[in-house]
Amino acid sequence: MKVLALDLSTKATGWCFADGRPLEWGTLKPKVTLELPRRLEYMVREIAELVTTFHVEHLAIVELHYMRGMKVVRALFMLHGAVQYWAVINGLPISWVNQNTALKALGLKGNCKKPEVVKLVTRLGDAVMDEDLGEAGATYFGA
């Protein structure tokens, strides 16, 4: 199954496309000068482009797993909602993945550091990933 795993953020969304194993990955980074509505639009548009490019059949998205200030929480809820809305109107199924559960399913502690995640996902997927992409890769393997 062709899966696009996403670790959503309004500043840098990590993504990993996989079909049995990670094949492509990257980070979506809108211009820092964009206002929130334009950032949301950018992220949804770029995710839609990835779905089209890779003929994605399923999304695996990291659930909100920690909370910061109210402004950040509100922005993340808006982004999750915008992506979910786009997926629903386009008939694309979504699996919401708890990051800690995905990490534990891979044999890691839920509170492990990013370098540990990157090392394991790189080994499992036979692909070299960096810190921005490791959690998206873990989401794929943990989904």
Query: What is the SS3 assignment for 123-138?
Result: HHHCCCCCHHHHHHHH
Please enumerate, as own/partner, the contacts of 77-80 that have beta carbons within 8 Å and a separation of 24 or more: 78/36, 78/40, 79/8, 79/9, 79/10, 79/39, 79/40, 79/43, 80/8
Q: What is the pLDDT of residues 39-78, one digit of tens each?
A: 999 999 999 999 999 999 999 998 886 666 788 888 999 9
pLDDT, the chain, mean: 81
Number of residues that this document lists for the chain: 143
Q: What is the pLDDT of residue 87?
A: 97
Residue 92 or residue 143, greater confidence: 92
Q: What is the pLDDT of residue 43?
A: 97
Span 86-103, average pLDDT: 87
* pLDDT beyond 80 at 143: no
Q: What is the pLDDT of residue 55?
A: 97
* pLDDT beyond 70 at 117: no
